[in-house]
Structure formats: structure tokens, C-alpha cells
Amino acid sequence: MRCLSIMSAFTPALLLATPMADASPRAVTALDAWRAQSDARAEDPRLARPLTRAEAERALALLAADRRRALATRYGSAMADRKLTIGDKTLRWESKVFGEAAPGHRSLWISMHGGGNAAPEVNDQQWRNQLRLYEPAEGIYLAPRAPTDTWNLWHEPHIDPLFQELIDAQVAMNGVDPNRVYLMGYSAGGDGVWQLAPRMADRFAAAAMMAGHPGDASLLPLRNLPFALFMGGADAAYDRNKLAGEKAAELDRLAAADPGGYVHMARIYPGLPHWMDRKDAEGVPWMATFTRNPWPTRVVWVQDDVPNDRFYWLQIRDAAATTRGDTIVARVDGQTITLTGTVPAGTTLRLSDRLLNLDRAVRVIVNGRTMHDAKVPRTAAAIERSLRERFDPDSAATATLSLG
């Protein structure tokens, strides 16, 4: 399979958008004036002006182009050096590129190595092995080196922000489609998949766990993330084989109770030990059949011991104030949004015409109580904030509603 160089130009169709014929120039002109300022502030009142749907699409294209240029500058050295640093933790990586894809349509495969609780040279060897394990038909196959050598090297709290920035950088500079980002890992890397896939499900198109231990991870947030698990039937250390069978059965039950959700595949290979002789590579083409839906009409969000403040189109004010196991179940039925569970004051709904019609009233019911029943205006402020949090134009909100 041919392997190509990376750092290709990125000019996705969204960023080349031109004004729609029915777009009023007023709000777009105000946005252009704001963008022209060298000291532009996100709190500028011009960004709060209501937008038509066409204006919001134009604003998203303009602001995404600006953000991409800013990130290209910010991450230029990091991408050249193949390492990202946040605080005192550095994530290094090596990668290969397979197949052909138009700019903005390339897939990204994040593949986590095994090891952990070992000397650095042992984990370095595991890292080098991981780079050789799998070959997607197309995409950037990227093997990161864990920043630490601890037993839980792939699910410590610093991993989430490092992976968020890694994805942003690859989208901004290497033409990655944010709807085609995949997560996988072997052994201790599989441990990481069990933990990271549920708490970062909104960033991935599919995930695959190879020979990992599930620990205490909840499967409930996987509702919209296709998930594969692979295990040797004789891989009895730490009861990995037994637990894999139990988790596969749990996914079967969840899928049966929620049609359309919890898409999964499970392979427990009879007689195989911890090394599955590459049989688990069948997960790669299976994952490649999926693209992410950033606007699902049903979301199950469960807080882990590493809390997050944003999940799909839900956002909370203070993740640190949550308790492990706090759960929000959100549904959209026409123009009605229903939230149940632990819904803290100040919860924000990140909305888009891809989720419901923002030209009509939106009704919000929280634990049986109607909290809102009116239109929610589209604004450039909502778009700018979304893109500043993540360079993920397809999941960028064009309107936000904060619930008291």
C-alpha cells in the first residue's frame, strides 16, 4: 500500500463558501468590520446581531477560514516537530499516510500503543510496534507516544486536551475531515479506548478496542459512536476475556433497547492469547464505513472521573462541579428538546439548523418543566465561541441557549 507525505494544503468547500443570494448584507458587513480589527473582542456587540440562516452559513465559512489560518500559525512548529505540549505534558507522534483523499476529506486514525507501568524504553518499543500494526485503505495513521509511563498512560486527565488539540491541528493543517476521525488501541492502548471513547465520543466516527481492560468505564455514552471490541479467548490475565464477553453482551442489550443506537461488533477469538495474530485488523475496514454525526437527536452523557464540559450539542458551565456518574439524556423530537437527569443550572444548548429549525420556536423541557418556548437567534458570537473551543466547523453552533 502506497504511503504518502503529509502536510497537504487544506481548502475544504466550507471555507470557500460565498455569500448566499438571499443573505442580507447587514449582519455580514458588521462581521467583516469586526474581523478587520486587530484587537477584535469576542464580546463585541456586533457578533450578537441575529443572523438569517444564509448569513449564519456565510459567517461560519468566514470565521472558520480565520480560525484555520490562526491555528496554522499556532501549530506550525508543533506539526513540524510532531509533538504537542500542554503544561508539563508532551505528546509526540509518528504517522503514515495511505491512499488518496481530497483536501478536507482525509481520515485520521489515532492508534494508541500498549505497555504502561514500564521503563521508557519498553514503552518506546511498544510505540514503534503500534506504527506497524494497522494499515487503513486511506488516511493518516498516527501513533502517538504516551506522555507518561504509568499503568494508566492513555486515560490520565491530560490526554483529553492533548487529543483535542491534536485533532484540531490535523484538521486545520492536514486536510482531515473532523467527521472521519477514528480511535483505536492495543493492550494498554485498548484500556485507553475503553475510557476515552465514551468521554470523547463526540469527536470520533468509530472506535476499536484491542485486548484492553475495561476498568470502570460506562458504555452508555457510546450511543452514537460505533464501537468494536477484539479479544483473545485465552487472554485471561486480569479477566480480560471474561470482561470482554460481558461488555459485548451489555452492548447487545443497549442496542436492542435503543434502535439505531449502540452500533457495535465484538470478536472474541477462541484459543488466542493476548496477541491476536493480527486478526483484529478486521476492525479497520469496519470502522472506515462510518462517519460521525455531530448532531444526533439522542445523546447520553455520563460524567467520568475526568469530567468534560461539552458533549455533542450539550455544554455545562463548570465540569469540576460534577460528580462521577452524573447523567444527562437529551432528545430532540421536531422542535422540542427534552433533557432528563442531572441537568445543572446554566446548561447551554448548542444549536444548529442541522438539529432543528431555528426559524421556528424551540421548546425545551427539563425534567418535566418547560424552560423555554421561543425562537433562539443565530449569532456570529455562538459560531466564534464554538470554533475557538474546537476547530470543528461541522459541530459549530450557530445559536446557543443557556438554561437558568
Residue 37 has a pLDDT of 72
Say whether domain 82-288 belongs to CATH 3.40.50.970. Answer: no
The 3-class SS string of 43-69 reads: CCHHHHCCECHHHHHHHHHHHHHHHHH
Burial class (CB in 10 A: 0-12, 13-18, 19+), 35: middle
C-alpha cell at position 310: 461539552
Instruction: Name every residue whose Cβ is closer than 8 Å to that of residue 80 and which is 6 or more positions away in sequence.
Output: none
Q: Is 112 helix (H, G, I), strand (E, B) or coil?
A: strand
Domain range annotation of the chain: 13-71, 82-288, 298-402
Residue 43 has a pLDDT of 76
Q: Is 163 helix (H, G, I), strand (E, B) or coil?
A: helix
Residue 8 has a pLDDT of 39
DSSP string, 170-212: HHHHH-EEEEEEEEEEETHHHHHHHHHHHHTGGG-SEEEEES-
User: For 31, what's the count of Cα atoms within 13 Å in the CB-facing half-sphere?
Assistant: 28
- Element at 288 (helix H, strand E): helix 283-288
Among 226, 158, 150, 225, which residue's Cα sits nearest to residue 191?
Answer: 150
Residue 38 has a pLDDT of 61
Measure Cα distances from 216 to 144, 157, 273, 319 in Å.
24, 15, 23, 20
Residue 40 has a pLDDT of 67
- Residues 58 and 220: their CA atoms lie apart, in Å, by 36
Strands 89-98 and 139-145: antiparallel
* 353 touches 53 (CB < 8 A): yes
**Mean pLDDT, each 10-residue run in order, the chain (404 residues):** 40 38 60 73 82 95 95 97 98 98 96 96 97 98 98 96 98 98 98 98 98 96 98 97 98 97 98 97 98 98 96 97 97 98 97 98 98 97 96 98 93
pTM reported for the whole predicted model:
0.92
Rg (CA), the chain: 21
- Phi and psi torsions of 58, nearest 5°: -65, -45
- Angle, vertex CA 98, rays to CA 97 and CA 104, nearest 5: 70
Cite the DSSP H helix spans in 82-158. 120-133
